[in-house]
Amino acid sequence: MKKYFTDIFSGIWNLLKGMKITGKVLVSPAVTECYPEKRDELQPKERFRAELTMPHNENNEHKCTACGICAMNCPNQTITVNKSKITDENGKSKIVLDQYLYDLGSCIFCGLCSRVCPQGAIEFTNNFEHAVYTRSKLIKQLNKPGSKKVEVAKPVAPAAKPASAPAQQEKEAAPKQENENNQ
């Protein structure tokens, strides 16, 4: 009988605690983002991922090497990298990017693609307005038509020192130490 009454009072006490929280929320002022009206003032957080982009420089060049690592790591197969193999004037074959397609409608915005890109060719922006009337408009080509990969000059390796160089440096250092000790 005692347990029965303690359960009832415990239930009433928990109900009153819940009503207290609800009452605080009820009388507090509402915080509403006036989205369409105050669009310029709305600032999403810095880490917010909204749209995948491929930055191009002023010469319409990008960093993508068409390796396809981003497409392999995408859990929804949102990214499609279309590439082709060409032969340059030196007779070497190389892979070039034809199309980099991104399906915004199936993206879960996890960021795995941009994290694993070895070249840093793709990145997420804070552009969150994606309202379109058809799903086909959500498939975007990230590389601009006519764009090409940035040609980076390979660093020149420093000339190798002969094997006797350390021994020569030791011989030069020995007289300097003797001169310092004599002074």
The pLDDT mean for the chain works out to 82
What are the boundaries of each domain within the chain? Answer: 1-29, 51-144
At the second CATH level, the architecture of 51-144 is 2-Layer Sandwich (3.30)
The lowest-confidence range among 84-93, 103-112, 122-131, 160-169 is 160-169
- Per-residue pLDDT of 26-43, as tens digits, reads 899 887 777 778 878 877
C-beta separation of 122 from 60 below 8 A = no
Contacts of 8 (CB under 8 A, 6+ apart): none
- Per-residue pLDDT of 36-64, as tens digits, reads 788 788 777 788 888 899 998 888 888 88
Short-list 65, 73, 140, 75, CA closest to 101: 140
Q: Does residue 164 register a pLDDT over 90?
A: no
